[in-house]
Amino acid sequence: MNNDYILNGEVARNRIALDIKYRKLNRSDIEQLIINPQITSAFIGSTFSKKKPMKDWNKSYLDELSYVAVAESFNRDYLLYLEEVADFVAKAKIKKIIIGAVIVVLVIITGFVVLTYVLNGGNI
């Protein structure tokens, strides 16, 4: 896996960030990746100080955060934070889909009940 992120002797920081963003790398993968001294030699700083509260985590923030790896920050703290935000955003999307599906089912059931009521002349 480490060789996927080293191109022409350079660490492809943006590729790592994008693979985290798109959930191709999880926390365990990141921990394995940063064992490689060549990867850690590309680190910028040791912490990521621009963290936002969880209430501000959304797709827009995830997009913004994934660009930080190229210029501002690339280290263990940043990569794990990026993974945490990516996981949160992915789960939030799934929750929205489930809630939407439940609403659609409830509307269909309600429509069926109303239609049955009307067709029976107001008698259930």
Please compute the mean of the pLDDT values over residues 5-31 and round it to a whole number. Answer: 94
Q: pTM higher than 0.85 for the full model?
A: no
Q: What is the pLDDT of residues 70-99, one digit of tens each?
A: 777 899 999 999 999 999 999 877 767 777
Q: Tens of pLDDT along 51-76?
A: 999 999 999 999 999 888 777 789 99
- CA 74, 47, 79, 39 torsion: positive or negative? positive
Q: Identify the burial level of 16 via C-beta atoms within 10 angstroms of its C-beta, where 0-12 means exposed, 13-18 middle and 19 or more buried.
A: buried
> Is the pLDDT at 37 greater than 70, yes or no?
yes
